[in-house]
Structure 1
Amino acid sequence: MDVDLRKLRYFVEVAEQLHFGRAAQTLHIAQPALSRQIRALEDDLGVALFIRDRRSTTLTPAGQQLLHDAKPLLASAQATVRRALQAALPTQQFTIAFMPGITVTPAVKALSAQHPQLDIRLLRTGWDNQTKVVLDGRADVSIVRMPVDPRGLNVKPLFSEPRVVVVADDNPLARKDSLTLADLADAHLLQDPEAVPEWRAVAHELRNGRRAQVPAIGSVEEKLELVASGAGFCVLPRSTASFYTRPDVAVLPAPDLADNQISLVWNSSHETGLVQDFSDVCYLLRPPGAN
């Protein structure tokens, strides 16, 4: 059976939003047309993918499984097209993705010295796309902050660094030399609690159901703005916090927090000589004092 990748893309959008109207707007197609495409996909597969009523849209077990498998399949198809287009370029390109706070210049210089004709590109990522960029071919390698989903990836641990707590400068906690988890038990975390499991285990607001809704935050700058306004605190890797020095927030060590692990990842189906060469020089990424 040949599966239409366009129908799969439509399915993934609806499955992630669980709303045909919003998915149609995102895809820039009419909702009736989207519904017809989903029904056609269900006919192709011979299974129902969604349960729809007037109030909600939910995935069937078959839909849940297809969503799990479709996203890496679509990413692989995108990567295949991108690599074909890059192969036609007169100069070979190599794109290095990296998370905020990680300095890649020494490793880039070392790779450039080995391959003077190589066109090296850099791509800044965030928590939501740090692995997607290698799975869909936008980057050849990505320097990520763990944890990540390892499916389809080769993962090479590089180093670890402490995480720190950022609070408003006028917060009483800012007067401390360092913070413990007990100090933070009554504070509001401006992140997904899953990202800071140590705090999640002691947080009072999670026990009594008073946790306020955290708005979608797309960057470190947005987090710091919220922190400075007194909305709560955030936890950042130490190197990331050092890039955003500002007088209205205080950065404090928190020995109870586990270190953040930095790793190099690349697409397991696209391991080239250049990827290995960059992997070899990644020891230059280690900042002073890293573990």
Structure 2
Amino acid sequence: MSDVDLRKLRYFVAVAEHLHFGRAAEQLFIAQPVLSREIRALEEELGAQLFARDRRGTALTPAGEQLLVDARPLLAGAEALQRRVIRAAEDARTFTVGFMPGLIVTAAVRALTGRHPGLTVDLVRTSWDDQVEMVHDGRVDVSVVRLPVDPHGLVLRPLHTEPRVVVFSIDHRLAGKDSVTVADLADEHLLQDPALAPEWATVATELRTGRPAIPAFRSVEEKLEHVAAGHGIIFLPLSVMTFYTRPDLCHVPVTDLAPNRVSLAWSAAHPVPLAEEFATLVAG
């Protein structure tokens, strides 16, 4: 079997995501006939048909579905390798730190650069969606992450915990309370994945029938806009809500909601110089 061409894999993923050769060709900045030839060549190399095309459109075959599952991490790994090599060639004295909103790493960064004169520390803001992805694909050396995360392929060093609060619109019936319990919130519409608040999910299970689907918000800012509009509630670590303080929102402690756990993460497969030292400084 011949080696798989990463360029053809990228072409395949583009078609698989669009299920349309024309739109995929536009995204890749190549002509559609060229893209079609490359996909046919990939199918010949693999000995399998990847797409079924008829008048109704383009669909993945079972072989294509399997290739899509395997191709994405393979391409991500190749991109991570390229980033690490380029960074090593350009500047071996650079250390890149990812951090979630509300988590301040300034003191640890200053302490690290004080110990290592000439070291450049770059800072990259992450989100719930990419805080671990950036470690795996090499965009950051270490990342201060909020759990839970998939621990596969990571070294995780616990740093600290912090309380979580519920966020209301300023005119919510529970706004201004000293504290609430998850039972007080059981009939509220949660604007985030219930898996992030299993205590709430447990008490709200019986009331969930007929509730609107959870919207796919990608940022804290989007969620807060919807909370302020009265569309529902969210749970946030206290430091995040403090960071995003605004007059049309309020936050209240939830007495029986588990605290948010914060850890430092780095790749288990690729040793990261200074990671352990930075973990000690952040924890301190």
Structure 1 length-normalised TM: 0.84
The 10-residue stretch of structure 1 (129-138 or 185-194) with the greater mean CA deviation from structure 2 = 185-194
Could you tell me whether the CA contact under 8 Å between 1:95 and 1:121 is conserved in 2? yes
Give the distance between the partners of 1:25 and 1:249, measured in 2 at CA: 43
Partner of 1:99: 100
Measured against aligned partners, the alpha-carbon deviations of 1:25-80 in whole angstroms (never above 9, x if no partner) come to 544455555454444333322234455662673562x4444344333322221122
Aligned-partner Cα distance in 2 for 1:148–1:176? 32
* Secondary structure of residue in 2 paired with 1:41: helix
* 1:160-179 equivalences in 2 (<5 Å): 160-179=161-180
Deviations 1:132-180 (A, max 9, x none): 2122221111111122223332222222222211010101021432222
Structure (1 or 2) with the larger CA radius of gyration: 2
Change (3 A) 1:266 1:229: same
Write the distance in 2 (CA, Å) between the matches of 1:17 and 1:255. Answer: 46
Partner of 1:251: 251
- In structure 2, how many angstroms separate the alpha carbons of the residues matched to 1:13 and 1:165? 40
Q: Which residue of 2 aligns with 1:289?
A: none
Look up the match of 1:276: 276
2:245 matches 1:267:
no
Q: Deviations over 1:81-125 (max 9, x none)?
A: 122222232562111001111111121112111211111100000
Q: Percent identity?
A: 58
* 143 and 177 in structure 1: CA distance in 2 versus 1, 3 angstrom threshold: same
May I ask how many residue pairs the two structures share in their alignment?
Answer: 282
Which residue of 1 is the match for residue 132 of structure 2?
A: 131
8 Å Cα contact 2:43-2:49 kept in structure 1: yes
Change in Cα spacing, 1:254 to 1:11, as seen in structure 2 (3 Å) is: farther
Aligned to 1:288: none
Aligned residue identity for 2:250 = A
- Classify 1:247/1:59 alpha carbon distance in 2 versus 1 (closer, same or farther; 3 Å): farther
On the 8 A contact 1:186/1:204 being kept in 2, the answer is no
Query: What SS is found at the alignment partner of 2:180?
Result: coil
Which stretches in structure 2 are left out of the alignment for 5+ residues? none
Cα RMSD for the two superposed structures: 2.7
Report if aligned partners of 1:15, 1:59 keep a CA contact under 8 Å in 2.
no
- Cα 1:233–1:45 change in 2 (3 A) is same
Separation in 1, partners of 2:199, 2:35? 43
Q: 1:96 to 1:199 in 2, by over 3 A?
A: same
Distance 1:44 1:93 in 2: 41
Residue number in structure 1 paired with 2:232: 232
User: Secondary structure at 1:88's aligned position in 2?
Assistant: helix
Partner of 1:57: 59
Could you state the TM-score of these two structures normalised by the residue count of structure 2? 0.86
Gap change, CA 1:6 and 1:193, over 3 Å in 2: farther
1:116 paired with 2:120, answer: no
Quote the Cα distance in structure 1 between the aligned partners of 2:234 and 2:253: 12
Deviations 1:199-243 (A, max 9, x none): 3333369732331451x4232222211111111111111111111
